[in-house]
Each structure stands twice: as structure tokens, then as C-alpha cells.
Structure 1
Amino acid sequence: MNIFHLDCTTGFGGQESDHLSEARGFLEEGHRYILGTREGTPLDEKARKEVPTVSLPLSGNMDMVSLRRIRQVLLSEKIDVLVTTSYIDSWLGPLAAYSLGKTRPFVVRQRHLFNPPKNLFPYRKMCDRLVVVSDALRLYFMEKGLPFWHVTTIHRGIPEIDRRPSLEKDLSSPHPERPDGPIILQVGIFQRDKGQHLALDVFKKLVQKRHDLSLVFLGDGPLLPEVQARADRIFAPEIRRRIVFAGYQDPRPFLRRASVVIQPSLREALGLSILEALAEGLPVVAFRVGGVPEILNHAPPGRGILVQPWNTEAFASAVLESLEKNIPREPFDHKNVFSLKACVRKTLSFYEDGLEKLRSGFLHKNPYETIGGRADPMFRAKSNE
């Protein structure tokens, strides 16, 4: 299968990392997978080193240069499935695809974020199907009026953990970015809904009861200076030294040194950092939002604690509970649900079904509208009026 995946985003977080993983996963299975990225972005720079990549301007919805180049790729690479992600590529990509008429590819819109969309038109008319990363997000779009058969959940997956000795780092001794004592770790981009401000509030309650704890933030983003300034403001110097902003780094060494991973997000479609923590055998404390329960419901007993959103007192208590239990690490067996291979397998099956419906002319019809009469569970008798 030939797949062309567009993403115009300018940052680099869980969504972009997931695109790279998905591309590698399909390539390993013998399929053709091309990423279309915005020139000069972190995703563009990383993708060109790892997977087949087409760099595009993607400067706006009227970018005719990108539109023509997307159309050329669809034709020259004989693309079967076009995947779009963000505002610009989800407009230009479908326009290029629909211009090909009967020979066009199956058009899929992916949605990784729980941010309320300003306009549902692109989700209704600019794709054949909408694929979301959690059932919570699927229900959101159904509540907004999208047909149930138009929205599909495919949970994202993470690659198998590479445990080669060469990847292990010496984390036994203190380090400015890896303090001594138990580490509370948060991984994620610094933006409002990820809850780094709340993590500081939780840590303020924790250090009142445990003086040996450290808080480490992994990630970067627009809110980083604000969170750093707040940490400087609300903590005494001796406590502030135990709060580390390590920037964007490979999380694996930190996960192997951490004692608990926290996810105080107030809006989370799924949470790949939670999957990565569980895969390393770490306990996770998170707010009960979005798709987070869909992960932690699969976690081994005691590994995942869900807390009511905004309740930092209960969150701190849950972190202390995890620390006191000191459950031996046992990596979460995610192979059948949240592995990259499982995600690729489900996605491939979904694409094959969509292509079959596209070619047979049944793509935009309710699958329950068949000759079944009252036996059809979606049957509604027509009024004689």
C-alpha cells in the first residue's frame, strides 16, 4: 500500500513523534509511506533523516505551490491513502485528491488533540473518514453530529522497548538533570492544557511531607519560561534546586531513573508518555480526562491512579501512595493493545476496508442502510405523510 501523510505543524511533540513511529512501522511491514512536512520545521528535519519525506511550503489554504506538488506526489507515487493532520494540509490535501476524480485516493483525517475545533466542515466534507486516537474523542465528535460510521478510533501505539546495554546510561549518581532521591517525572510539551502549573502545586504539597523528592520536567514549548518563573517565585531556593527543567531529551534514561510519572493534563486525547511510562514498569498518576482512562484501565493493578481534575490535594496523596507502596517494576505488556505493530495492523485493515468501499461506491453511505427492513437495527419506518 502507498500512503502519503501530510502534517503542516511547526512544533514537535507527541503527535509528530507518533507520525514518525507510524511511518517506520508501515515501512517495516513493506509498505510505501511518505511524510509531507512543512519546510524547516523540527518534524521536517527529523523526518528527512529517517523516512521518505517531501518538504512543502504549506504556507496557507491558498498555497498553490503546495497544492500542485501534493497532486504530483499522488499521481507519481500512485498513492492509495492520503492522510491529513492539521488545518492547512487538511484543506490542500483533499483538494488535490478530489481533483483526480475516480482515480483519487482514500482520504483520512487524523485527530490527535482534544482541542475543540472551530469549524466541523473539514471533518465532515474534507475527508472520507475521521480517525481519532481514543473513544473519548470519538464520542466528542459524535456528540457534535458526525455520523457514527464516519469516525473511527484507532488507539496509538509505541515501539517495542530497545533494552540494549549500549542505550543504558549511568544514572546511579546525582547529576544536575538527574538528582539523587526519588524523582517525580512529567514528560510533555509546555502548553496550558498539559498542567505543568498544577505539577508545581502538587510538588509544593509533596515536599511538605517528603524532603527527599525531586521534580523533573522533560520537554519544551511556549509556556516553559512562565513555568520556570513561577517555580522561582513560589519555592524557597533549597527546594527550587530540586526542580529540574531538562528540555527536550530522550525520555528513556529518565524513565528508568524516575519513581513516579505524573500527567496532570486537563485535556488529553490519549497520552503516549503514559504508555512509555507503563512500558518501563513505572506507576502513573493522572487526572481522569479524555482518553487517559482507556490506557490505565489496561494497566496492572496499582500502576495507574486516576484523580478528579484540578484536585491537587488528591493528586499529591496518590503520588505519595505510589511512592510508599514501592511496587517492583514490571513492564506493562502492551503488545496487543497499544503497541506500534498493533496500531499498524489495525490501521492497515481500516485503510483496506475504506479503499474497497471507495472503489465500490459505498463509501459515503450508512452501512446499516441495507435491505434488511425491520431486522436492521438502524431501521426507521418512513412516515406516510
Structure 2
Amino acid sequence: MPDCGVWVFKSGGDRVNIFHLDCTTGFGGQESDHLSEARGFLEEGHRYILGTREGTPLDEKARKEVPTVSLPLSGNMDMVSLRRIRQVLLSEKIDVLVTTSYIDSWLGPLAAYSLGKTRPFVVRQRHLFNPPKNLFPYRKMCDRLVVVSDALRLYFMEKGLPFWHVTTIHRGIPEIDRRPSLEKDLSSPHPERPDGPIILQVGIFQRDKGQHLALDVFKKLVQKRHDLSLVFLGDGPLLPEVQARADRIFAPEIRRRIVFAGYQDPRPFLRRASVVIQPSLREALGLSILEALAEGLPVVAFRVGGVPEILNHAPPGRGILVQPWNTEAFASAVLESLEKNIPREPFDHKNVFSLKACVRKTLSFYEDGLEKLRSGFLHKNPYETIGGRADPMFRAKSNE
């Protein structure tokens, strides 16, 4: 049984019981989003349990914050995890099973489908723009696929998935607490914050996040301005490689202005930064962009994936899109943002990209899916018209 003693559930209304599996071994935007979504549903009075791989960063953080079940999740034939998932589905009366990664997207549906008519609604989430190794789990091992951007939805539709099988629900971030006491605490001096304008990149260190390209951009920038600093916030497998390259290509006096701050709360860094960069070459959405805009910061990013879907909502001058790989244009855009020195204007994300909006849309989607599952219309095109013609009254007219 999950440890949920820290949560008090509201009484009354239709409570939805959700079990969300993720076997991931790292911790980045996707895993942070899982925790935020769990907290959002719990605060609305619903039941939300995370199923995590034992000993992972997500498992350790989740057990401190939300109801959590730790599982081995060692492979697609892990019978121990399969039995425990099935036990949770039964004992907790789960309505919706959500899967995220490769292993749990096999074990979870197998456990759910074994329950027959009493099974839950099975949803596969996809946060990443990496090409999947196998489309079978997205077609056959879920009732619906939820993606985080329209760009990602179009990708799966181009791969042949029915348009009604794939739904976009933009992820959201919590509302920022701007109480004076918190503002003072977060703006206190920090040893890893250099003087002068700061260029900030937030994200896990992996190949497609573009940290190497950020170094190339910074090399061009310091040729024109000598007061700039570059701060990387995050951790990951590529970190040693990026650090070694920074040591190699920059003179010591410039290298000292490049800070690798590790994985930390981004809010103090966002409030000190002058511009946030996102040189990712693959990005399904980009929560770090939302966090930057919410703090009133300008953002420079490559035009990839779902990034334009965010920046199209940004206030004028807050978001600049650049063609991928063009580091010269990227550096010019950063300089333009710095020289304009636009006063900070927090982005109003409440209606589209807030956590509450995300929870509200997700709940409505789950309720619709459960209704279709119980009525037997889950795997039928809900937009199919009578007679297969554009006119829904075609058949009636032909019989007159």
C-alpha cells in the first residue's frame, strides 16, 4: 500500500483514482512534471499514486512528496512488477492507468487488460520528441496517447495513428508564489552567481539539449561583450564532456565566467538571469521556457518541436526563434535581447500553461475516456458521420 499519510483527500464529488507508472532512471523536466501533476490532482481531491523504479531519483523524491509505490521495473518480463501493478489496480480501485516509459508501458497495460471488463482506462503519455523504437505500444498497448504539444501529435499522426487516438494536453507550471518573504529568501546572494548579465540554460545534460551549441554561442558573444556570464543549471550524462570542452576552448579568464551549477531550484537563478537560452535540437515543449517567461525573462530558442507553441503566446519581444544550428543568428538574438533591456513582465500563463489548467484538461479527458470505455465506444472514431458522408442526415434523406 502506498504511503499517503501526508495527504488529506476531499470528500464529496466524483473522485478519480489514478495510478501513474514511470520506470525512468534519470530526473529532468518529464519527471518534475509527473510530481507537479500528482500534486495538482491531489490538491483537487483526487487519488494519485506514482509507480516508480526502486532507488531512482524520481522514486526518492516522489516518496517524500506524494503517494508512491516502488517497483523493480527491471524489464518487459518482470513478473514481480506485473503482479504488484495488478494488485494496486485492484486494491486501490484504479480508474485510470498512465504509463510513460518503455518497460512500464508493457507491464502496466498487461496488468490492466488482465482485469477484463473491470479494467481501468489506459493512457500512454509522451513527453519526448525522440523517435520511438517501436510504435506497437502506442497503437495497441493503450486506449489513448497523450502528447505535450501539437507538433508531437502531428508526428504520431504522420506515423499512421488515428487522429482521435492522439490528444494534445500542454503541460503546465505551478503559479509563482511572489510573497515578499519568499522573494527576499530567493534573492539572497548566491556564491555561484557571477556579476554582470547572466545567460542561463536550464536542462538535463544530454545530446539533443544543445549545451555544446550554447558554448559555441557564448564564444561568439564574448568577442563582442566582456561582461557576460553563462550559467548551466542541470545534471546528466553529458555534463563531464561539456565541462571538458569548456576547459579546452576558452581562455582561463573567460572559463571562469562559465558556471556549472548542477541540479537546483531554478527560481533564484531565473530572478538573477538576463536572458534564458534553449538551443535544443529536439524539444517536445520546454517547461524551462515556461518558467523563464513566468519570471518575465526573454527567451532565445531554436525553432523546433513544440517551442513555437509556447513562444507564440509570449508578450512581444519576449521570445525569439532561430533556425536550428545557426549559432551566429542565435548569438545575435541574445545580444538583441540584452541591448533592448525590456522591463520584466511576467507571462500570464494561467489559462493555457498553468498546472491548474493542465489538471482541468487532463481530468476532462480522463472522464471522457472512462465514459467511452464503459459504453463500449472507446475504439471507434467519435467523429464518424452517419452513412460515411459529410451530411449526417444523408441516410435519413435517402429513405424518404
Q: Same fold (TM over 0.5)?
A: yes
Sort the Cα spacing of 1:51 and 1:63 in 2 relative to 1 into closer, same or farther, 3 A.
same
Query: After superposition, where does 1:78-89 map in structure 2 within 5 Å?
Result: 78-89=93-104
Cα–Cα, structure 1 residues 192 and 59, in superposed 2: closer, same or farther, change >3 Å? same
The 1:239/1:269 distance shift into structure 2, 3 A limit, reads same
Give 5+ residue unaligned stretches, structure 1.
none
State how far apart, in whole Å, the 2-side matches of 1:283 and 1:239 are. 24
TM-score, with structure 1 as normaliser: 0.96
Aligned counterpart for 1:304 among listed residues 319, 329, 338: 319
Partner secondary structure for residue 219 of structure 2? helix
Q: 1:367 to 1:174 in 2, by over 3 A?
A: closer
Partners in 2 of 1:175 and 1:353 — Cα distance? 48
- 1:281–1:329 Cα contact (<8 Å) kept: yes
Residues 41-92 of structure 1: CA distance to partner in whole angstroms, max 9, x if unpaired? 1101110111100000001000001000000000011000000000000000
* Contact preservation (8 Å) 1:157, 1:340: yes
Conserved in 2, the CA contact under 8 Å of 1:368 and 1:376? no
Shift of 1:359: 0.4
Q: Tell whether the 8 Å contact from 2:54 to 2:72 is kept in structure 1 after alignment.
A: yes
Compute the displacement of 1:372 (Å): 4.6
Can you list the C-alpha shifts for 1:8-35, whole angstroms capped at 9, x where unaligned? 0010000000000000000000000000
Question: 1:158 touches 1:276 (CA, 8 Å); kept in 2?
Answer: yes
Gap change, CA 1:75 and 1:384, over 3 Å in 2:
same
- The separation in 1 between residues aligned to 2:37 and 2:395, in whole angstroms, is 41
Q: Are 1:36 and 1:56, in contact at CA under 8 Å, matched by a contact in 2?
A: yes
SS in 2 for 1:232: helix
Aligned position for 1:338:
353
- 2:31 corresponding residue in structure 1: 16
Q: What is the CA-CA distance between 1:177 and the residue it aligns to?
A: 1.0
1:164 Cα deviation from its structure 2 partner: 2.9
> Could you say if the C-alpha distance between residues 366 and 195 of structure 1 is closer, same or farther in structure 2, counting changes exceeding 3 Å?
same
Identify which of 289, 308, 315 aligns with 1:274: 289
CA contact (8 A) 1:34 1:53 kept: yes
> Does residue 287 of the first structure (1) align with residue 302 of the second (2)?
yes
Deviation at 1:367, TM superposition (A): 1.4
* 1:236 alignment partner in structure 2: 251
Q: CA deviation at 1:376?
A: 5.0
CA-CA distance at 1:166 after TM superposition: 3.8
Query: In 2 relative to 1, CA 312–378 (structure 1 residues): closer, same or farther, beyond 3 Å?
Result: farther
Partner of 1:319: 334
Number of positions where the alignment pairs a residue of Structure 1 with one of Structure 2: 385
- The counterpart of 2:390, out of the listed 329, 353, 375, is 375
In structure 1, how many angstroms separate the alpha carbons of the residues matched to 2:280 and 2:393?
38
1:252–1:226 CA distance, 2 compared to 1 (3 A): same
1:274 to partner: Cα distance: 0.1
- The answer to whether the 8 Å contact 1:173/1:180 transfers is no
- The superposition leaves residues 114-155 of structure 1 with CA deviations (integer Å, 9 ceiling, x where unpaired) of 000011000000000000000000000000000000000000
Task: Say if 1:156 and 1:338, in contact at 8 Å, map to a contact too.
Answer: yes
| CA RMSD in angstroms, aligned pairs only | 2.7
Q: Is the 8 A contact 2:19 2:49 kept in 1?
A: yes
Structure 1 runs (4+) deviating above 4 angstroms are 169-176, 376-385
Check the 8 A contact 2:147/2:168 in 1, yes or no: yes
Return the alpha-carbon distance in structure 2 between the equivalents of residues 281 and 188 of structure 1: 19
With normalisation by structure 2, the TM-score equals 0.93
The 3-state SS of whatever aligns with 1:372 is helix
Identity %: 100
Secondary structure class of the residue paired with 1:382: helix
Q: Deviations over 1:274-323 (max 9, x none)?
A: 00000000000000000000000000000000000000000000000000
Change (3 A) 1:376 1:251: farther
* Contact 2:17 2:94 (8 Å CA) reproduced: yes
Q: Is the 8 A contact 1:36 1:55 kept in 2?
A: yes
1 CA distance for matches of 2:67 and 2:297?
A: 34
Cα gap change, 1:355 to 1:173, in 2 (>3 Å): closer
Indicate the SS of the match to 1:97. helix
Alpha-carbon deviation of 1:181? 0.2
Shift of 1:173: 8.7
